[in-house]
Amino acid sequence: MRLLALIVLLVFIAAGIVFGALNADLVSYDLGFAHASVPKGAAVLAAVLVGWLLGGLTAWLGTSFAHRRRRRRERIESKAAIAPTA
């Protein structure tokens, strides 16, 4: 299994190197407060990285809020089950 993961990783690294080499032209970005010229490949890879991080953050926050709600509901239900009825 580790060998397969290593092979897949090496294939993606090689594809990234080829992608970067084929897209070496510079792209200018003017953000109003900063100006940057970066290669096309680096810009696309940076956009993919930012999207991956934001997607992961969104998924993590969504599951953590759901877990917190479920724990709170279970705590309330367990207190209600333990409390003696008069």
- Domain chopping of the chain, boundaries: 2-82
pTM for this one? 0.58
**Residue 84 dihedral angles phi and psi, to the nearest 5°:** -75, 140
Within 8 A by CB and 6+ apart from 35, the residues are 28, 29
Confidence (pLDDT) at 1: 81
CB 50 within 8 A of CB 25: no
Q: Which percentage of the chain shows pLDDT scores above 70?
A: 95
Q: What is the pLDDT of residue 55?
A: 94
pLDDT (tens digit per residue) in 1-25: 899 999 999 998 898 888 888 888 9
67: tokens are 């877990």
